[in-house]
Structure 1
Amino acid sequence: MNELEKIARRYRNIAKLSFALIYALCVSVAVNVFWNPGKIYGSGITGLAQLISTISQHWLPFTIGVPVLYATLNLPLLILSWKKIGHEFTFYTIVAVILSTVLLHIIPPVAVKFDPIICAIFGGLFNGVGTGLALKNEMSTGGLDIISIVLRKKLGKSVGTINIAFNILVVLGAGCLFGWVQALYTILSIFVNGRVIDSLYTRNQKLQVIIVTSHPDKVITEIQNEMRRGITIVHDVEGAYQHSSKTMLFTVISQYELPLFRQALQDSDPYAFVSMTEAKLIMGRFYQEHIY
């Protein structure tokens, strides 16, 4: 490993640790400032930890805090991750879980009662920003991420029903404990959380791209140098305005690759005509880089 590779690796490590801290701060603010005071639950393991903590307050002689439950619920998943996914991945996940547990304990719950809608929206916003930035920088926040990755490796596809089942459990718990109005606020918060994550983590969002160019060889070379994408070529396309000969190229990229695609096109043919639409369904072989 040369000096530049060492510097780059050191930078990536520092960046991952920084975003683990940002995630921990965001989830702690979401839980202690908005969700708990508003009697609203988050999604996944965080929401389940809140749910069990509330049950302990009502029906057990002692109360189990959210930080303790958050760490306890993540512990078997971290062991699973260490055995099935990888040590480096698990190390950064452990860091994120530890920092989150500490900050959940340190940051005090606010005494001011915000409107429940405000709690739902801003709780989902803060948690979504933390989770989205963590995923964008190729690290996990623990919880259901680990189960999904393990099952994806075993079954070859992502298993979204696990997240849906957990969130349904959280919503039902909110409805039974606080009433169905609070359950509605919990649904709103989970929705906001998901939308914010989607806006930041764009690796899985696909775009169908049509390129009409006079320099197909340059365009193809630049695109394939920048990203691992197949391209379909349609020769002898005629422009209706000047009746000049063109070539049409079809490809599919991820939203995450859009800056690379723009740069490749700028370097090869800045005057090419490009049309992009969201690809709802991809059938066939589409290379998807697994970051875990």
Structure 2
Amino acid sequence: MKEHTIRIFKDVILISFGILSAGMGLKGFLSSSGFIDGGVTGISMLLADIMGIPLAILILLFNIPFIIVGYKQIGKWFALKSILAIAGLSLCLAFIKYPDITPDLLLTAVFGGFFIGAGIGLAMRGGAVLDGTEIAALLISRQTAMFRVGDIILVMNIFIFSAAAFLKDVPVALYSILTYFAASKTLDFILHGIEEYTSLLIISDKSEEIRLKIINELQRGITVIKGKKGLSGVDQDILFCVVTRLEMGRIKRCAQEIDKDAFIVIDALSDAEGGLVKKSKLH
């Protein structure tokens, strides 16, 4: 019970800071310049400028259908936290007076994106979303193997920024794309950190020597997979290791110092927990 209460408190803190950060990005940077972000937020900003409807109302209205779908497909707690987060963002935009930080357009695009990305990332760490686009992309990707979530979001945003170029002007659309990329990179950093996980498969006739060197010198966990060479049929030990991106070079050097012809396969992972893998903060 105590752990559950602590988890709820932690989620509330993360979502609250996420709301304030996203509000700063939207109102403190982007609103005065006319720049937009991607996703449902971008559509809301575009229509708010054209139709004169308050952004706070549009963000809430346009996200409701996605929250309903999320409730049915993902779960009630996710939907509840998300609707409260989006409602909180709408109230934040409606009632909190953020200062207009800078007239410089480049700084506006970059730091506006930074605060929006940080806000979305913190909210996601708390188990909620501030933009329904991620829900739509996730559900579409489940229906087809052709597109990943990132591909679907990218296609959606191409249409949004094209509309911005047509309805506003090309420079605004280009600055908005810069805002989107700044937000995307910040979001990735918040969710995954600088120590992004990487898995390595090491295939070598000297696998036992490599295994001992990695364990003794780097203190990393390693798994031995029993395999067989496809051509000769000879048994082959395959080493599997999960490390952070910063440690990857050291693992490769360890293997190549013993066997310069070692076959190494590297694959990026979205996350990893347990074992001897260092756990990211805020998980």
TM over 0.5: yes
In structure 2, distance between residues paired with 1:190 and 1:112 = 19
Segments of structure 2 that go 5 or more residues without pairing to the other structure are: 228-236, 254-263, 274-283
Aligned 8 A contact 1:38 1:113 in 2: no
- Provide the secondary structure at the position in 2 that maps to 1:11: helix
In structure 1, distance between residues paired with 2:172 and 2:71 = 37
The answer for the alignment partner of 1:240 in structure 2 is none
The answer for the alignment partner of 1:266 in structure 2 is none
Confirm or deny that 1:71 pairs with 2:69: no
Confirm or deny that 1:130 pairs with 2:119: yes
Aligned residues: 242
In structure 1, distance between residues paired with 2:158 and 2:64 = 23
Taking a change above 3 Å as real, the CA distance of residues 278 and 233 of structure 1, as seen in their structure-2 partners, is closer
Q: Deviation digits for residues 42-77 of structure 1, max 9, x if unmatched?
A: 111111100111221xxxxxx211111000001111
Aligned 8 A contact 2:39 2:132 in 1: yes
The answer for the alignment partner of 2:184 in structure 1 is 194
Taking a change above 3 Å as real, the CA distance of residues 113 and 137 of structure 1, as seen in their structure-2 partners, is closer
Q: How far off its partner does 1:278 sit?
A: 9.7
In structure 1, distance between residues paired with 2:81 and 2:36 = 25
Taking a change above 3 Å as real, the CA distance of residues 124 and 216 of structure 1, as seen in their structure-2 partners, is closer
The answer for the alignment partner of 1:114 in structure 2 is 103
The answer for the alignment partner of 2:251 in structure 1 is 274
- Provide the secondary structure at the position in 2 that maps to 1:160: helix
From 5, 8, 15, give the equivalent of 2:10: 15
- Provide the secondary structure at the position in 2 that maps to 1:96: helix
Q: Deviation digits for residues 178-201 of structure 1, max 9, x if unmatched?
A: 321121111111111111112222
- Provide the secondary structure at the position in 1 that maps to 2:97: coil
The answer for the alignment partner of 2:129 in structure 1 is 140
Q: How does 1:38-57 map to 2 (within 5 A)?
A: 38-56=33-51
Q: How far off its partner does 1:147 sit?
A: 1.2
Q: TM-score, normalised by structure 2?
A: 0.71
- Provide the secondary structure at the position in 1 that maps to 2:239: strand
Residues 40-49 or 112-121, more deviating? 112-121
Aligned 8 A contact 2:197 2:271 in 1: no
In structure 1, distance between residues paired with 2:97 and 2:127 = 30
Aligned 8 A contact 1:206 1:278 in 2: no
Aligned 8 A contact 1:232 1:251 in 2: no
In structure 2, distance between residues paired with 1:28 and 1:287 = 28
Q: How does 1:90-101 map to 2 (within 5 A)?
A: 90-101=79-90
Q: How far off its partner does 1:167 sit?
A: 1.5
Q: TM-score, normalised by structure 1?
A: 0.69
In structure 2, distance between residues paired with 1:87 and 1:198 = 25
Residues 104-113 or 86-95, more deviating? 104-113
The answer for the alignment partner of 1:214 in structure 2 is 212
Q: Which amino acid aligns with 2:77?
A: E
Q: How does 1:244-263 map to 2 (within 5 A)?
A: 249-252=239-242
Aligned 8 A contact 1:213 1:248 in 2: no
In structure 2, distance between residues paired with 1:278 and 1:175 = 43
The answer for the alignment partner of 2:22 in structure 1 is 27
Q: State the identity as a percent.
A: 22
Root mean square deviation of aligned Cα: 3.7
The answer for the alignment partner of 1:244 in structure 2 is none
